[in-house]
Amino acid sequence: MMMEIKKYLEGGDMRSIGQVERVVPLIKSQADFDALFEFVLSRDELLSMRAIDAVEKITVSHPEYLRPHGEAIFKAMPLASKNVIKWHLALIVARIDWQEERLGFVWEQLTRWATSAKESRIVRVNAIQALFELSRKHPELREDLRLTVELLEQSEIPSIKARLRILKKKGL
């Protein structure tokens, strides 16, 4: 399975997603997902970038596949330096059921990404989305989210304003 996955993740340059759409249907079990996840941890940035894209797509419908990888994802958050990794991580971390001590760290990291002008717009928007998703699972975080949203509402960035409008319609 590893070689089959790898052939679809390789080739081309960093500006393309390669053949990620061919990887997604190959993942039919936890074992398949675990094989894919190995590429997320690769030192090869191209493989890692494409693998995390596939992981993000797959876990929309199978968040349970992330369970055995929570520790690796947790450790990856503060180390992520590439925007493409951060924006996928932001969405992925919201799909994991974090224990309280880990949840606090994840929340703080997402808040930093959401509010930092140094982050790309897509990282910021995805971090906002993740904060919203986590606050739905953990109502005790809603006040923290409200404070973050107050800061973000001062932004003149159209994508951030648009995301906030969308989330308000969903009960933000």
> pLDDT (tens digit, 9 = 90+) per residue, 65-90?
999 999 999 999 998 888 888 999 99
Residue ranges in the chain assigned as alpha helix (H):
2-9, 20-23, 30-40, 45-58, 70-79, 83-93, 100-115, 121-137, 142-152, 158-169
Report, as an integer, the average pLDDT of 120-125.
96
Q: What is the pLDDT of residues 37-46, one digit of tens each?
A: 999 988 888 8
Percent of the chain with pLDDT over 70: 95
Kindly report the pTM of this predicted structure. Answer: 0.90
**Spacing of C-alpha 132 from chain mean position:** 13
Which among 85, 146, 155 is positioned nearest to 115, based on CA atoms? 155
Count CA within 13 A, CB hemisphere, residue 36.
29
Counting Cα atoms < 13 Å in the Cβ hemisphere of 4 gives 10
Are 142 and 135 in contact, with CB atoms under 8 Å apart?
A: yes
> In the chain, what's the furthest Cα-to-Cα distance?
48
CB 90 within 8 A of CB 113: yes
pLDDT in tens, 3-50: 788 888 877 666 666 688 888 999 999 999 999 999 998 888 888 889
Name the band, by pLDDT with cuts 50, 70 and 90, for residue 168. Answer: very high
- Angle of helix 100-115 relative to helix 142-152, nearest 10 degrees? 10
Please, what is the end-to-end C-alpha distance for the chain in angstroms? 42
User: How far is residue 172's CA from residue 170's CA, in Å, rounded to a whole number?
Assistant: 6
CA distance 74 to 143: 23
C-alpha to C-alpha distance for 69 and 162, rounded to whole angstroms: 32
